[in-house]
Amino acid sequence: MKIIILSGAGSTYGDSMDFSVIENWLHELGVSEIILNPISIPNDARGIIIGGGGIIYDEDVCLGGNKNPYIYQDYILSAKNKSIPVIGLGLGWQGLPLGSGKKVWIENLNSMEFLTTRNKQTANYLKEIGVSSKIIPTTAPAFGLLDREVDIPEYDVGLLTHPPFLVTNDCFRPEWKDWLSIFLEKLCDNLAQNYSVRIITFCPFFNDEFEKMRSKNIKFTKIDDSREILGTIKKSKFCITITLHALISAAVASRKILALYPPKPLKPKIRWMAERLKLRRLPIGSSLDRILNGFELSKNDPTVNINKEIMLNNINKEMLKTWLEKI
């Protein structure tokens, strides 16, 4: 059986965690061939999975430029012409009103047999704009991350982020890039006075924004294989997270977490998840002193409980299993 997965960021960045979990589920359920983001849909594909990740956004938002709604429209139109069923798993709306891409996305989503969303806010919004497909709010597939031992020394604080230029494009205003770069440098410098610090990024490359933060007490890890994420984070005692999947992976690793999120009215996906998991959280525009104090307080917080997320993620897997048996 040949199954196509269309993932927002493919096998890199935060969405790679969702992709790797869905891929593992498919292997467990007996799928023999899995193709990620093909140029075109093969005629012999038995089904298409869109997700996971925050792939629902308009053309003037995020890294996808004006291609986002239309890339998926092309895939889904091709699938419809070939009578190939399509579902969505763990989809997220990025939190900004949809403009000219709204009609396209409604058509896309209405073509699916069903879709699950990573939060209730996405499900409610899609229903409000007229999506008529079956919508089930669950959680992000990344809560099913696999674990693998990683051979690195233990350290105190993991700062889980992308390079500032990517964070500002994805979650913040692009003009904040220089400010965020300076802020992260100051945060690391302060933490490194008392703690061993490791910057962990899911971006497939480093850049000179990180070079400024190097000191004898700050190390860097670039995650190329999502199966190494938990092993890397488990070497830490505490985590400060700046992206959604950073927050999720730290929660799965059962670390103490301070979650930093964009202030309103920008994309609230990080704040939504931090509230849902009852994590200590602060807007990233807070003063450095406030964030450092929040970090110290987070060290005494209870370990996050993700049992509900695991249960909701099992719904994702069970719906996938039922769909595979049908096709």
Summarize the chain as % helix, strand, coil (round to 5): 40, 20, 40
Q: What is the rounded CA–CA span in Å between residue 5 and residue 2?
A: 10
Question: What per-residue confidence (pLDDT) applies to 29?
Answer: 96
**Fold of the domain built from segment(s) 157-298:** Rossmann fold (3.40.50)
Question: 31 in helix, strand or coil?
Answer: coil
- Identical fold at 2-145+309-326 and 157-298? yes
Question: What per-residue confidence (pLDDT) applies to 88?
Answer: 93
Q: Which residues contact 137 (CB under 8 A, 6 or more apart)?
A: 116, 117, 119, 120, 122, 123
H-run or E-run covering 52: strand 47-56
Question: What per-residue confidence (pLDDT) applies to 222?
Answer: 81
> Which DSSP string do the residues of 112-160 spell out, in sequence order?
SSEEEESSHHHHHHHHHTT--SEEEE---GGGG-----------SEEEE
Q: What is the rounded CA–CA span in Å between residue 298 and residue 284?
A: 15
Question: What per-residue confidence (pLDDT) applies to 62?
Answer: 44
Give the CATH number of domain 2-145+309-326: 3.40.50.2000
Question: 243 in helix, strand or coil?
Answer: coil
Q: What's the pLDDT tens digit per position in 174-220?
A: 666 677 778 888 898 899 999 999 988 877 655 555 666 666 678 88
Domain ranges of the chain: 2-145+309-326, 157-298
Question: What per-residue confidence (pLDDT) applies to 253?
Answer: 95
CA angle 133, 80, 94 (to 5 degrees): 50
Burial of 126 per CB tally in 10 Å (0-12, 13-18, 19+): buried
State the sign of the Cα–Cα–Cα–Cα dihedral 144, 314, 247, 156: negative
Question: What per-residue confidence (pLDDT) applies to 64?
Answer: 41
* Cβ atoms within 10 Å, residue 30: 9
Q: Are 106 and 131 in contact (CB under 8 A)?
A: yes
| The two three-digit tokens of residue 35, written as one number | 């193709």
Q: Are 56 and 122 in contact (CB under 8 A)?
A: yes
Question: pTM (2 decimals)?
Answer: 0.91
Q: What is the rounded CA–CA span in Å between residue 223 and residue 188?
A: 19
Question: 217 in helix, strand or coil?
Answer: coil
Question: What per-residue confidence (pLDDT) applies to 209?
Answer: 59
Q: What is the rounded CA–CA span in Å between residue 46 and residue 1?
A: 6
Q: What's the pLDDT tens digit per position in 141-183?
A: 999 998 888 899 999 999 998 766 566 655 666 666 677 778 8
| The two three-digit tokens of residue 128, written as one number | 């409000």
Identify which of 135, 89, 139, 54 has the alpha carbon closest to the alpha carbon of residue 312.
139
Divide the 327 residues of the chain into consecutive groups of 10 and give the mean pLDDT of each group.
75 76 95 88 92 70 47 79 93 70 81 94 91 96 91 93 65 68 86 92 64 70 84 95 93 96 76 95 92 97 96 97 96
